[in-house]
Amino acid sequence: MAIEVGTKLEGKVTGITHFGAFVDLSGGVTGLVHISEIADNYVKDVNDHLKINDVVTVKVINVDKDGKIGLSIKQAVDKPASESRPPRGPRPERSSGGERFGGGGGGGFNRERGGRPFKPAANKTSFEDKMSRFLKDSEERISSLKKNTEGKRGGRGAKRM
């Protein structure tokens, strides 16, 4: 019997490794069930799910030119339609302002992640104004960092007692 992709077969577990299990199919042909194809949930150890000489139903998922057969136990199980995920609804449309992260006013950083909100600068802001604003913000950040690291053991610039 020729083994074709998509067919479901019964097999006997003949070997277990850290990356999967070898299953003996009819006619002395052996295939591999990779650890990711054993169960729908996360499989940390194959031995928690399979034992040697267990009889399992597998689905052939690929056959290589060199004779290697890839098998799947989780794809061989017929799932009821109610168990499958419902189709996703349409994605919310994004405005041209880039309100992807929930903040109006364009791209920029998300405040919950520690960034500052994006403030579009007036078109007539001079270079000197931008530099002075940058220096002010930079000094505030440095002083905040110094406050947070002082007194912590091993921090930079920590005061010794």
For 16-74, write each residue's pLDDT tens digit: 999 999 999 987 899 999 999 999 999 999 999 999 999 999 999 999 989 899 999 99
How far apart CA 57 and CA 34 sit, in angstroms, is 14
Q: What's the pLDDT band for 78 if we cut at 50, 70, 90? A: confident
Q: What angle do CA 144, 145, 148 make, to 5 degrees?
A: 90
Which region holds residue 139: left if phi is over 0, alpha if psi is between -120 and 50, else beta? alpha
In sequence order, the 6+-apart residues with CB closer than 8 A to the CB of 10 are: 55, 56, 57, 58
pLDDT at 110 (0 to 100):
55
- The backbone torsions φ and ψ at residue 119, rounded to the nearest 5 degrees and listed phi first, read -120, 110
Q: For the domain 8-72, what is the CATH code?
A: 2.40.50.140
Strand partners, 52: none
